[in-house]
Structure 1
C-alpha cells in the first residue's frame, strides 16, 4: 500500500487557515483521497488536554520553556499514535499547525533558541517531516483584525502585536530555510486568490 501524504498548514493567528482547511478537505475528497484532519497542539486525547493547558486563559502564567516542552509532548503523542499510523494505512493527513509553529511562536515569539527547538525536533521527529507545508502569510494588523472579530481570544491570541510580528518573521525565516517544503502563500489577497494558490500547490502532490 502506498504511504499517504502529510500536509501541514500554518501561519499567524488570523491568517485564514480554517477557511482553507475546509477547501483542502473538499478538494481531496473530490479526488477520492481519504484525508484525516487534525491539529496542534491536540489531535489526540492526551494532546487535547495539553492544548487546554496551553491556550486556556485560566492558565495565568507559564514559563516559555514549559510551553515548548508541552508542545513537543503533545506532538510526540500526535505523531506516534495518530499521524504515522494514518499515513501507513495510505490515508493523507492534514494538520492545522505542526513543528514550524514551535520555531515561530516559541522561537520567534518567545525568544527561545533555535538550537534548543532543533534538539527537541530531532528527538521527537527524527527524520519525519511533512510532504508540504502551506504557510499562510498576512500582515499582523490584518490577522489581528480578524481575530478581534471572534467572540473570545485564547491565551496566545491575547499577546501583543510585537509578539506576532516576531512570530511572522519566524515563519518567513523558516520558509527561506526550507523553500522546497514550505510554500509561502500571500493570504492577504481575496479568498478566491488565496484558494487558487493552494490549489496550484496541491496539484503537484
Structure 2
C-alpha cells in the first residue's frame, strides 16, 4: 500500500509542478492567474471527500480506488492537449475530484491495517511514502519538462496514475481490510455513551 501511496503522490507532484510551469511558460500567466487556475481544483479536493465517501460505502474501496485512478489518469492525459487555461482549470477540478476519493481511502486503509495500537506508526509510514513520492515526482517533472515536452510529461504522469488502478486495489485486498467501510454514525435506537 505504501508503494501505491508513493506512486500516487509522485504522479500528483509531476502534474502539479508541470501545470505550474506550463501555465507560466506557455500562457504567460502570473502568480495570481495561476492561483485562479489551481484554486477550483484545490476547493474540490477540500470539500468533496465527505460527499464522495457515500459512494465508497456503496461501491466498495477497491472499485472506487480503481475508478478514481482511471479517471485521474484520463484527466492527466487530457491536460496534454488542453488548448487554454480554462480547459486546464476544468481538467484540474476533475483530477481534484478523483484525488478526493483516492487520498482519504488510502489513509483509511492504512489506519485500519495498522490497528489501534500502531496507528501512529502506520500514519507515519503513510506520510513518509507520500513525501518520498512527492520528491520523486517533482524531480521527475523537472527532468521531463526540460528534456521532453508538456505532452510527454502529462502522458507519463497519466501512465503512473494508471498503474494505481491496478496496484492500489491489489494492495487493499492484500491488507485484508474491509471492502465496505463501516459508518461511524450510531444506528437508530442505539444510545450514545
The structure where helix makes up a greater share of residues is: 2
TM-score under structure 2 length normalisation: 0.31
Q: Which has the larger radius of gyration?
A: 2
Instruction: Give the number of the structure with larger relative contact order, counting CA–CA contacts within 8 Å between residues 6 or more apart.
Output: 2
TM-score under structure 1 length normalisation: 0.30
